[in-house]
């Protein structure tokens, strides 16, 4: 096994601090948005499980805290995209897990409560599991350019995922718990990150060669539409998750499930782990289960509730 896969150029190394700065904005933005959603729910005297209504969404855009949070999350996206431009997805995407730690500390400070041992243990499972997963991925996988055929497969999978989540939400949303929205947002934003990385490369190619409306250019536009659809539905799930759970649960879903989805797509669809040893497959399974378990355990905690 060669260690050349983890050697980074100065430009790629710059992507690490850029991604960490994005994590800080993600954590702060999540806190502000969750505060805004909580205020709207308190005013409406309800605890949302079936999704935010039009009136609640309209009220959110008038909440200063929610708007500040949106601005911070926008900056987090900018820094994430810039880090993806500088470095490989498997290097910078998992660094978002730092936002989980920051969010947990901020929530504990705001609510003036100490993190419980179960919450700390759940966060350790999340951060440790995703760290192990991506470390092995960085050592045993190779980043390769995505072909048109592979991109079509990714878009088809995304289409099925959007259809499943859309139908489930339309017909069964009153039965959903917050973990559905957290997992759903994490899965959808995993596709967003993957497609964003693809779009960055393809836009560079188009700008260099000129836009001639070739089949590849049309596919790029479809990719952009898919990214937008996943981003919109994922953002709605995030807002609903804010209304039914603590902010660190939401961040856990975004920073744990998101990179797991991205790396899994790279392994299964793109064949980036074709040359990986057999032991890596077992480690992937174990390392993937650990953070998922951590998210489930963290979703059972209620650190924002000072009565506990």
How many angstroms separate the CA atoms of 245 and 103, rounded?
Answer: 13
* pLDDT attached to residue 204: 67
> For the stretch 21-44, what's the b/e string if a residue is b when 16 or more beta carbons lie within 10 angstroms of its beta carbon?
bbbbbbbbbbbbbbbbbbebbeee
pLDDT mean across residues, the chain: 77
Q: How confident is the model at residue 229 (pLDDT cuts 50, 70, 90)?
A: very high
Rounded to a whole number of angstroms, the distance between the first and last alpha carbons of the chain is: 49
- Could you tell me which of 278, 262, 281 has the C-alpha nearest to residue 270? 262
Q: Is the model's pLDDT at 160 over the cut of 90?
A: yes
∠ at Cα 174 (168, 179), nearest 5°? 70
With a CB cutoff of 8 Å and minimum separation 6, the contacts of 175 are none
Kindly write down the DSSP assignment for every residue of 76-123, as one continuous string. Answer: HHHHHHHHHHHS-HHHHGGGGGHHHHHHHHHHHHHHT-PPPHHHHHHH
Give me the torsion for CA of 293, 298, 300, 305, rounded to 10°: 180
How many angstroms separate the CA atoms of 86 and 120, rounded?
Answer: 32
The residue-averaged pLDDT of 47-67 equals: 70
Q: Read off the pLDDT of residues 242-259 as tens digits, 9 standing for 90 and up.
A: 776 667 777 877 777 887
How many CB atoms within 10 Å of residue 206?
16
* Residue, of 199 and 137, whose pLDDT is higher: 199
The backbone region for 242, taken as left when phi is positive above 0, alpha when psi lies in -120 to 50, beta otherwise, is alpha
> Is the CB of residue 271 less than 8 Å from the CB of residue 263?
no
Residue 116 main-chain phi, psi, to 5 deg? -75, 160
How many angstroms separate the CA atoms of 302 and 159, rounded?
Answer: 34
The percentage of residues in the chain with a pLDDT greater than 90, rounded to a whole number, is: 6
pTM of the shown model? 0.75
How many CB atoms within 10 Å of residue 152?
13
């Amino acid at each position: 096994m060669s260690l050349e896969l983890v050697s980074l150029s100065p430009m790629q190394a710059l992507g690490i601090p850029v991604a960490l700065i994005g994590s800080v904005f993600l954590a702060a933005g999540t806190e502000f948005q969750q505060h805004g959603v909580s205020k709207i729910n308190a005013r409406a005297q309800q605890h949302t499980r079936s999704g935010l209504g039009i009136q609640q969404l309209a009220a959110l855009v008038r909440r200063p805290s929610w708007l500040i949070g949106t601005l911070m999350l926008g900056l987090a996206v900018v820094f994430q995209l810039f880090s993806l431009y500088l470095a490989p997805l498997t290097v910078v995407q998992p660094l978002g897990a730092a936002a989980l730690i920051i969010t947990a500390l901020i929530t504990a400070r705001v609510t003036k409560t100490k993190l419980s041992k179960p919450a700390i243990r759940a966060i350790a499972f999340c951060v440790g599991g995703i760290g192990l997963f991506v470390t092995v991925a960085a050592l045993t996988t190779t980043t390769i350019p995505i072909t048109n055929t592979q991109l079509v497969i990714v878009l088809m999978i995304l289409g099925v995922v959007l259809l499943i989540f859309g139908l489930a939400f339309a017909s069964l949303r009153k039965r959903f718990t917050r973990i559905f929205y957290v997992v759903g947002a994490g899965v959808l934003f995993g596709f967003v990150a993957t497609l964003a990385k693809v779009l960055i490369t393809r836009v560079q190619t188009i700008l260099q060669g000129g836009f001639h409306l070739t089949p590849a250019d049309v596919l790029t536009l479809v990719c952009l539409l898919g990214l937008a659809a996943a981003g919109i539905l994922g953002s709605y799930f995030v807002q609903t998750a804010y209304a039914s759970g603590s902010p660190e649960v939401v961040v856990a879903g975004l920073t744990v499930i998101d990179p797991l989805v991205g790396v899994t797509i790279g392994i299964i669809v793109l064949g980036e782990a074709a040359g990986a040893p057999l032991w890596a497959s077992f480690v992937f399974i174990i390392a993937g289960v650990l953070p998922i378990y951590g998210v489930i355990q963290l979703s059972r905690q209620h650190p924002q509730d000072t009565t506990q």
